[in-house]
Amino acid sequence: MLEGFKKFILKGNVVDMAVGVVVGVAFGNVVSALVKDIITPLLGAFGGTPDFSNIYFTINHSKFMIGDFINAVFSFLTISATIYFFIVLPMNRLMEVKKAKQAEPADKVCPECLSKIPFKAKRCRFCGNKVVIEKDIN
């Protein structure tokens, strides 16, 4: 019974998931600190202190503290926007640049002598045959 548990724990998926959770928690702490310590004070400098915790309404002598909910929604939206604009957009741009560089092959084959020549070459250096670049065809 312990042997099966040992195999389960030492599987790559479980270890990868555990590392992902730990890194995710640490990353969440960094993003929360960024929003709490930098972004929220910047927003407060322009529109006053963004603290809604004192907002409530009363029904039949029962106090409904909706300010904490508003603070949580505001925090969620601010964290989401921060992640999107400071992490997702730059990473997407970086991946597009990387993908564009990988899209163009380094070499191609001369149809006449079957030698490898640079992709952008217009003439084969071995046989002198004129080679059409695939982009020129379109």
- Helix %, strand %, coil % of the chain (to 5): 60, 10, 30
Total domains present in the chain? 2
* Cβ partners under 8 Å of residue 111, min gap 6: 129, 131
Is the same domain home to 72 and 122?
no
Is the same domain home to 90 and 33?
yes
Is the same domain home to 75 and 133?
no
Is the same domain home to 52 and 78?
yes
CATH number at residue 70: 1.10.1200.120
Is the same domain home to 98 and 112?
no
pLDDT at 42: 78
Is the same domain home to 92 and 59?
yes
Is the same domain home to 68 and 10?
yes
Is the same domain home to 29 and 42?
yes
Is the same domain home to 37 and 69?
yes
Residue 38 and residue 86 in contact, taking contact as beta carbons nearer than 8 Å: no
CA distance linking residue 134 with residue 129, whole number of Å:
15
CA distance linking residue 135 with residue 12, whole number of Å:
43
Predicted confidence (pLDDT) per residue in 6-50, tens digit: 777 777 677 788 888 998 889 888 877 887 788 777 777 777 766
Predicted confidence (pLDDT) per residue in 100-127, tens digit: 777 777 788 888 888 888 888 888 888 8
What is the C-alpha end-to-end distance of the chain, expressed in Å? 64
Pick left, alpha or beta for residue 128 (phi over 0 → left; psi -120 to 50 → alpha; otherwise beta).
left
pLDDT at 59: 93
Decide: helix, strand or coil at residue 133: coil
Domain range for 66: 2-103
Is the same domain home to 13 and 67?
yes
Question: Residue 138: is its pLDDT beyond 60?
Answer: no
Is the same domain home to 16 and 78?
yes
Q: Which backbone phi and psi does 117 adopt, to 5 degrees?
A: -135, 160
Is the same domain home to 132 and 96?
no
pTM of the model: 0.52
Predicted confidence (pLDDT) per residue in 53-100, tens digit: 788 899 999 999 888 888 788 888 888 888 889 888 999 999 998 887
